[in-house]
Amino acid sequence: MSQPRYKIGQLAEMTDCQPVTIRYYEKEGLLAKPSRSGNGYRSYGPDDLERLRFVRHCRDHGITLSDVKILLRLREAPEGDCQPVDQMVNRLIGQLDEQLKSIKHLKKNLETLKGRCHGGSIADCAILKGLSDRSSCSCGAQVPRP
């Protein structure tokens, strides 16, 4: 019995991924070049579906494309040592800890600015004045932008 085949739109819907992203992942080598149907449409199988779900799940966890590539290579050698995976996750956890620290610091600074607000006109807005005067703020930390 033959395996099911999916067009790019079907694959996109099943993985909550835009077709343009699927094509990008192919270009970057995260997904294999798909076979083509007689009319030239991309044709994906169950292995492509599973691999794309893995990539998407990695991305949902903040794993970079270069690290996803490494994880995909490691998955191809299941008898190998998982230490590189552990090391990668530990590095990612450390990065998240740093981001959390920066975000908490930013929140504290914003709360301080908000505490200076007592209403009134824009000309007298303590928040805007505080945002204009970097010297009154200890917010030199780099904060990740969404």
Model pLDDT, residue 32:
92
Burial class (CB in 10 A: 0-12, 13-18, 19+), 69: middle
Residues 131 and 134: their CA atoms lie apart, in Å, by 7
Which is higher by pLDDT, 86 or 127?
86
Model pLDDT, residue 139:
59
This prediction's pTM: 0.76
At residue 6, what are phi and psi to the nearest 5 degrees? -130, 140
Task: Return the beta strands (E) in the chain as ranges.
Answer: 35-36, 42-43
Q: 62 with 96: CB under 8 angstroms?
A: yes
- What is the average per-residue pLDDT within 60-89? 94
Model pLDDT, residue 130:
84
Has residue 27 got a pLDDT over 60?
Answer: yes
pLDDT (tens digit, 9 = 90+) per residue, 30-66? 999 998 888 888 999 999 999 999 999 999 999 999 9
Instruction: Report how far apart, in Å, the C-alpha atoms of 32 and of each of 25, 45, 54, 64 are.
Output: 9, 11, 14, 18
Q: Which residue has the tokens 């990008």?
A: 24
Model pLDDT, residue 16:
94
Instruction: Report how far apart, in Å, the C-alpha atoms of 10 and of each of 4, 93, 142 are.
Output: 11, 34, 40
Model pLDDT, residue 110:
87
Model pLDDT, residue 132:
84
